[in-house]
Amino acid sequence: MRATPLLPLLFSGWLAAPAYADDAQDLLKRLAQAEQQQSFQGTFVYERNGGFSTHRIWHSVEQGKVRERLLQLDGSAQEILRVDGLTQCVSGTLVTGLANLPDPSGRVLDVRKLSAWYDMQVAGKSRVAGRAATILVMSPKDQHRYGVELHLDDETGMTLKSLLLSEKGQLLERFQFTEYDPSQSLDERSLQASADCKSLPSPRNKPATQVPSKPVAWHAEWLPPGFELGNESVRKDTGSSGQVISLLYGDGLTRFSVFIEPVAAKVAPDIRTQFGPTAVVSRHLSSAQGENMVTVVGEIPVGTAERIALSMRHGDAAGAR
């Protein structure tokens, strides 16, 4: 499949002659570096699946430690506090998908790898939150991932606006600052959660989750090109005596998860649905150990998610990783 051009979606006044791919890769390298070093605060809007919300963010990077507080400004005061990518406390329920927003402490942008799966192009200039920005378009080279349009701050290299686009050029998700302040030193009080923010147990101490001492017995016989297994874990299902296996895959920009749990019978229906950019596919699969429910969740096309779910197999994964 040929990736749908994304340039017609841009306002014509922003366009300039396309730059070389090397320039686009330089922008992405600068973004990768900025995400590990840049503190900031601001207000952004988030749109997906017909929903729209406004949020305040404080993001501090100090001596390699990343602290981030998000406060939803619409409706009830819902917030989340993260330290080095781990959620420390939450209040209420944040907008679906918000936890999937770019997390500088949770990813490492590998430009060389990403260039194998995305065509990168500098598409022109724009202004976001009153700041000059450069537009970087990343068009997928296959049908198994979405296109991304990034508006990168000329001063700091950080993302001021990002659009996630389907293969038909339809907007699936928007993240956009309306106010952005690249402060290197934030008020300590702004990074303190409110009393309503309820602490979560540390993953290191959480009894329901464990990192397996050896690779889990399930593996995917088919994965989209470029996606690799990044993490695997096993937890005990509180509603049964069975264990739920979690596998996390990524290509350096996009991630999806696979969950496998035993079921006594086909009591739960198969699922194939899409919420904005997020695909959710559940399929029953049989193995020598019995019936299992395999669920794939991630920001990938639903057809891709279904193919992954149906390719999951129980057995020696040594040659499949």
> How far is C-alpha 110 from the geometric centre of its chain's CA atoms?
15
pLDDT digits (tens, 9 = 90+) for 164-183: 999 888 999 999 999 999 97
Inform me whether the pLDDT recorded for 105 exceeds 50.
no
pLDDT digits (tens, 9 = 90+) for 106-156: 456 788 899 999 999 999 999 999 999 999 999 999 999 999 999 999 999
Pairing state between β 40-48 and 171-181: antiparallel
Q: 3-class DSSP state for residue 23? A: helix
Dihedral over alpha carbons 29, 32, 34, 37 (to 10 degrees): -130
Position 296 scores a pLDDT of: 97
Sign of CA dihedral 279, 24, 174, 39: positive
Return phi, psi of residue 187, to 5°: -65, 125
In single-letter form, the type of residue at position 270 comes to D
* Overall pTM > 0.75: yes
Domains within the chain, CATH numbers bracketed: 14-199 (2.50.20.10), 209-314 (3.30.200.100)
321 burial via Cβ count (<10 Å: 0-12, 13-18, 19+):
exposed
Inform me whether the pLDDT recorded for 15 exceeds 60.
no
Among 108, 58, 65, smallest CA distance to 79 is for 58
Inform me whether the pLDDT recorded for 93 exceeds 70.
no
Q: How far apart are CA 220 and CA 230, in angstroms?
A: 13
Neighbour order of strands in the sheet with 131-140: 118-128, 131-140, 147-153, 159-165, 171-181, 40-48, 51-62, 65-72, 78-83, 86-91, 198-199
pLDDT digits (tens, 9 = 90+) for 235-249: 776 655 578 899 999
Higher pLDDT, 204 or 113: 113
pLDDT category of residue 19 using cuts at 50, 70 and 90: very low
Residue spans of beta strands (DSSP E) within 116-251 = 118-128, 131-140, 147-153, 159-165, 171-181, 198-199, 209-210, 218-220, 228-236, 243-250
The total of other beta-carbon atoms located within 10 Å of residue 278's CB is: 21
pLDDT digits (tens, 9 = 90+) for 72-90: 998 777 889 988 878 888 8
- Maximal CA-CA distance, the chain: 61
Q: How far apart are CA 220 and CA 201, in angstroms?
A: 31
Tokens describing residue 148: 């991304």
Higher pLDDT, 274 or 266: 274
Among 314, 257, 265, smallest CA distance to 281 is for 257
**Average pLDDT in the chain:** 81
